[in-house]
Amino acid sequence: MRAEASMRSAVPSASSLRRGRMVRVGTSGFQVGLRLGGGYRSGFRASGLGRTLTRAYAEKKFSSDCGQEAQKRTPLYEFHRSLGGKMVSFAGWSMPVQYKEGHIESHLHTRTHCSLFDVSHMLQTKVLGRDRVKFMESLVVGDIAELQENQGTLTLFTNEKGGIIDDLIVTNTSQGHLYVVSNAGCAEKDLALMQNKLKKFKASGLDVDLEIMDQALLALQGPSMAQVLQVGLSDDLKKLTFMMSAVMTVFGIPDCRVTRCGYTGEDGVEILVPAEYAVQLAEILLQSPEVKLAGLAARDSLRLEAGLSLYGNDIDESTTPVEGSLVWTLGKRRKAAMDFPGASIIISQVKEKVGRKRVGLVSSGPPVRQHTPILNPEGSVIGEVTSGCPSPCLRKNIAMGYVKTEYSKRGTLVLVEVRKKTLEAVVSKMPFVPTHYYTGK
């Protein structure tokens, strides 16, 4: 998710949102590569770390799309290529993994200025009809009925065993439909899930319809986002707090939906724009010296620093919301009613001790990668890493993974097995760096 958005500690509480303040959550040891005299803080070997990370993303996560004409293309495909984007295959789409500046430069630029990401590959769906809320609540764990007008929420599709089918964002628009954004890699099964449920609803005489959207989706993320974007908006961006959205004119382009959310931990927006205007909007935004393009590699390391899970790595159909530390996505009313798929299993796990938990890890030495075994001090396997990389901001290795619950307490010393060597790691809270979701101040 994505959504793109998936740890309780990484998301402001409802009470914080109501108080209207900026939430900055994170570790006291956070050190971003601050710009000093046009460069980054001395002592940070960006080139070496960049090579390490670029190799990892090129070899482990993505594959070159050269010659693969079957790959889907976003409206910005040629634009990416013209600006030096390295195109790779991701979830059936040809997407930029990085640009000429490199992964690390893009990552740090997002933390200190702002970056533009093409996320048009995400599945975007309109849910229409009088019974649209009832339809959506038959599939997800969240409380859709209580969403304010133009408010969104991160929620989960779950199966009857309590496993997570996908994570997604659902927005209750003022235009008479729900706007749903889910993962590109889950598009086929998400559509099948919704269409099968749609048939049952229609057979029962209920009023609901689905419409697959083909618009572009651009994410502008980072501390400079507001000053860059506000000059081109027909409305005041300050009115949009975290997870709120509005339809407005953006740099002369009408009917754009701007949602204050993102997948980096920074203040940011996702802009739904007609496909024919996507390049025009990107070109306008890039005229600002504050804005640079960023690709999949930076997006992934940014979300990991922010403690956000990646579907297919950190959560999947074998993972429940309780195991995945996503209990906060369960609506209070929904928990009481136990009326979502897998509710009996999920609620029983909430009430009783679950066998494993998703945790953060910090280590030194060689980077910790996906599938790395996690051991207790006696050398017995207690879990596995699901995501990991060297943190460009912390300059140490970070990871998340699952461990037996008795080892999930923050500060617990564990071992990780890297390149046939056993190294020490410490269970850490997430997010690893402070988050800056805008809540009104």
Report the CATH number that the domain containing residue 117 is assigned in CATH: 3.30.1360.120
Closest CA to 151 of 143, 160, 159: 143
Q: Say if 261 falls within a structural domain.
A: yes
- 395-421: b or e for each residue (b if 16 or more CB lie within 10 Å)? eebbbbbbbbeebbeeebebbbbbeee
Amino acid letter, 127: V
Report the pLDDT averaged over residues 398-427.
97
Give 92-149 pLDDT, tens digit per residue. Answer: 999 999 999 999 999 999 999 999 999 999 999 999 999 999 999 999 999 999 999 9
* Tally of CB atoms within 10 A around 335: 17
Same domain, 85 and 222: yes
Average predicted confidence (pLDDT) for the chain: 89
Q: What is the CATH number of the domain that holds 420?
A: 2.40.30.110
Q: Which residues sit in the known binding site?
A: 270
Task: Give the alpha-carbon dihedral of 296, 300, 106, 429, to 10 degrees.
Answer: 170
Percent of residues, the chain, with pLDDT higher than 90: 83
Spatial distance between the Cα atoms of 133 and 128, rounded to a whole number of angstroms? 9
Spatial distance between the Cα atoms of 243 and 3, rounded to a whole number of angstroms? 11
Q: Say if 286 falls within a structural domain.
A: yes
Sign of CA dihedral 46, 52, 55, 58: negative
Name which residue leads in pLDDT, 140 or 34: 140
Spatial distance between the Cα atoms of 431 and 134, rounded to a whole number of angstroms? 33
Spatial distance between the Cα atoms of 299 and 324, rounded to a whole number of angstroms? 21
Domain count, the chain: 2
Give 40-70 pLDDT, tens digit per residue. Answer: 232 334 445 555 555 555 444 554 444 445 7
Q: Which residues sit in the known binding site for substrate?
A: 270
* Tally of CB atoms within 10 A around 209: 15
The H-or-E segment that residue 313 falls in is none
The span from the first CA to the last CA of the chain, in angstroms, equals 26
Residue finishing a domain among 305, 333, 364: 305
* pLDDT value for 11: 35
Spatial distance between the Cα atoms of 400 and 403, rounded to a whole number of angstroms? 10
Query: What is the residue range of 298's domain?
Result: 76-121+215-305
